[in-house]
Amino acid sequence: MAYRTHVMACTGTGCVASGSFEVSRALEQEIAKAGLSSEVQVVRTGCQGFCAEGPIVVVQPDGVFYCGVKVKDAPLIAQEHLLKGRPVKRLMYTPPKEKAPVPALRDIPFFAKQQLLVLRNRGLIDPERIEDYVAVGGYTALAKALTEMTPAQIIEEIKRSGLRGRGGGGFPAGVKWETCAHAAKERGEEPVVICNADEGDPGAFMDRSIIECDPHAVIEGMIIGARAVGCREGFIYIRHEYPIARERLEKALAQCREYGLLGRNILGTDMRFDIRIVQGAGAFVCGESTALMASLEGKVGEPRAKYIHTVEYGYKNRPSNLNNVETWANVPLIVNRGAKWFGSMGTGDVSENPWNGSSGTKVFSLVGKINNTGLVEVPMGLTLREIIFDIGGGIPKGRRFKAVQTGGPSGGCLPDSLLDMPVDFDELTKVGSMMGSGGMIVMDDANCMVDVARHFIKFLQEESCGKCVPCREGLRQMGNILNRICAGEGQEGDIQLLEELADTVVNISLCALGGSAPNPVLSTIKYFRPEYEAHIKDHKCPGGQCKNLVTFWIDPAKCNGCLRCKKDCPQDCIRGELKQPHSIDLVACIKCGSCEDVCNQDAVVVR
């Protein structure tokens, strides 16, 4: 018998960490107990994007959206909603500003303002079933590319769509494909296609989610790419920290081989192609194309100078068509619905020249000081304000927005004066940041921008492969200076020294890691210079983060004498009696902040 209801349980990594596998199993058991097994099916989907509220369960066709579902809620959902048709209000999502729960997915602002292309199948299909992907039109683009289009026409279509590399560089994919096909033809050497799934930016999880919710979309894009450049061999380079994504890819590849979508005579034509998964060890630099290919070859993952591009001499010196996960996932859509349709979304007119704008959509992961942590897909050209405040739900705890870092650790931090800036490749570069792979880290007024810069320089310093001097030594020296400033030992002239060092590192590093590493320092100096000056000249940290520059103090007017902070203080340096204002012994205080964390009267002041 046909199912009347599908219970779509999110099993992306975020929800899995909150226990969604256990929840989906419990739901199945309860459904069986209620005798509904033949009417109600539990479908495990990829990430639905609203990670802040996981585990997520959506009941279709009712469209009822449940969040924060626990194993103990399963009997309630099965008995009340699935059996008796009474949706469980307690588990529905309530937006921060409203009082009444919102039951339907399409009524939640977080979802309502997004436009899903790459994530079109999230929450809709079971990523582990190829039948589900085919049912929503999967592999029709491949059929079209194989039977109705020549390789040159495919390349032309991608070029005219204006699709630019979603891994961060924003290089037009069609131009890259054309160069690859051309190099292969000229030298008579067979090219390879590679998918870069080595997503290394802290706080970024777009590519992982795309693979987890729709692995076949990436594979279909790669087969079409292989057809366009004429090759038989493909690789997916994925970091080993992504076990669920890798498992789903492996299953998807096995299904493709079984169905004849990989291997010899694909879809009954003469095309032959297969894909191999290669695991990276999680080095940040291996997301860089030349380092990635060195790692693919089994060598140490270090980049090389790029006066010869990998698209001509890449993996084993063969022409190599490397694109990021999100770029590949866009390809089937463009082939199916045409370059014109794709180019109509986003900014600029890209039909003649892909450099003229940014077409299509971009997936962003929203993290940091933001209410709706999660994964969003929006058309290019939306403003930062729309993404952070309308979709992201703004800053928690009534705090004030201070900065957003786009583009991962080597992106820039942008202040509130740029909130109304449209987000696309070129606009972000203009203001000293970058698109990167799409991470967005939001910071509020309790963040110290010098400390933020120091944190990212430390990360990049640790991830620098050490092959070239400016990146290896330059970042170390910049890190030392930032440490000094944060410790309250900053000197007159440190800002200029940082700028000078940054200029050297940017200009003479071998690869893009060094080339973009000083961005967090340069952008914070540019937009938050008074904070640097406050650290150096006044020995003050306006964000209250640099321990050497702040003191903790209890406001006697606010303190209600609850003894909480006193109990938690590891130094036993808080004095005070019940219902009497407390005070901190500043000599013994180690500024750990535990009193601030536990105080529910906001009486602990950091200044």
Partner 1 sequence: MPKLTIQDLQRMREQAKQTMNLRSQNARAKVTVHMGTCGISSGAREVMAALLAEIEGSGTTDVMVTTAGCAGLCSREPMATVELLGEAPVKYVDLTPAKMRKLFHLHVLGKKVVVEYALAVGSETTA
Q: Which is nearer to partner 1, 6 or 44 (CB)?
A: 6
Q: Which is nearer to partner 1, 120 or 535 (CB)?
A: 120
Nearest-approach distance from CB 263 to partner 1, in angstroms: 8
Binding of residue 261 to partner 1 (CB under 8 A): yes
In the set 131, 538, 572, 585, which binds partner 1 (CB under 8 A)? 131
**Among the candidate windows 128-136, 179-187, 193-201, 596-604, which touches partner 1 by CB under 8 A?**
128-136
Binding of residue 112 to partner 1 (CB under 8 A): no
How many amino acids of this chain bind partner 1 (CB under 8 A)? 38
Binding of residue 258 to partner 1 (CB under 8 A): yes
Binding of residue 329 to partner 1 (CB under 8 A): no
Binding of residue 282 to partner 1 (CB under 8 A): no
Query: In 10 A of CB 500, how many CB atoms?
Result: 11
Buried b or exposed e, range 368-377, using 16+ CB within 10 angstroms: bbbbbbbbbb
Q: Which is nearer to partner 1, 261 or 418 (CB)?
A: 261
Euclidean distance between CA atoms 99 and 112, whole angstroms = 19
* Alpha-carbon separation of residue 199 from 118, 196, 235, 474, 553 (angstroms): 16, 8, 15, 25, 42
In the set 124, 145, 478, 550, which binds partner 1 (CB under 8 A)? 124
**Contact in structure between 453 and 492 (CB atoms under 8 Å):** no
Query: In 10 A of CB 19, how many CB atoms?
Result: 15
Euclidean distance between CA atoms 606 and 589, whole angstroms = 12
Binding of residue 132 to partner 1 (CB under 8 A): yes
In the set 19, 187, 251, 259, which binds partner 1 (CB under 8 A)? 259
Nearest-approach distance from CB 123 to partner 1, in angstroms: 8
**Contact in structure between 92 and 68 (CB atoms under 8 Å):** no
Q: How many helices (H) and strands (E) does the chain have?
A: 23, 19
What is the full DSSP assignment across 194-250? EEEE---STT--HHHHHHHH-HHHHHHHHHHHHHHHT-SEEEEEEETT-HHHHHHHH
Binding of residue 356 to partner 1 (CB under 8 A): no
Binding of residue 136 to partner 1 (CB under 8 A): yes
In the set 150, 153, 265, 496, which binds partner 1 (CB under 8 A)? 265
**Contact in structure between 93 and 57 (CB atoms under 8 Å):** no
Interface mask toward partner 1 for 139-168; x: CB under 8 A: xx--x--xx---------------------
Binding of residue 84 to partner 1 (CB under 8 A): yes
Binding of residue 278 to partner 1 (CB under 8 A): no
Binding of residue 21 to partner 1 (CB under 8 A): no
**Among the candidate windows 2-10, 48-56, 172-180, 583-591, which touches partner 1 by CB under 8 A?**
2-10
Nearest to 544 by CA among 373, 336, 402: 402
Euclidean distance between CA atoms 489 and 481, whole angstroms = 9
**Contact in structure between 519 and 570 (CB atoms under 8 Å):** no
Where on the chain is the footprint of partner 1 (CB under 8 A)? 1-6, 8, 35, 39, 60-63, 82-86, 106, 124, 131-132, 134-137, 139-140, 143, 146-147, 258-261, 265, 267-268
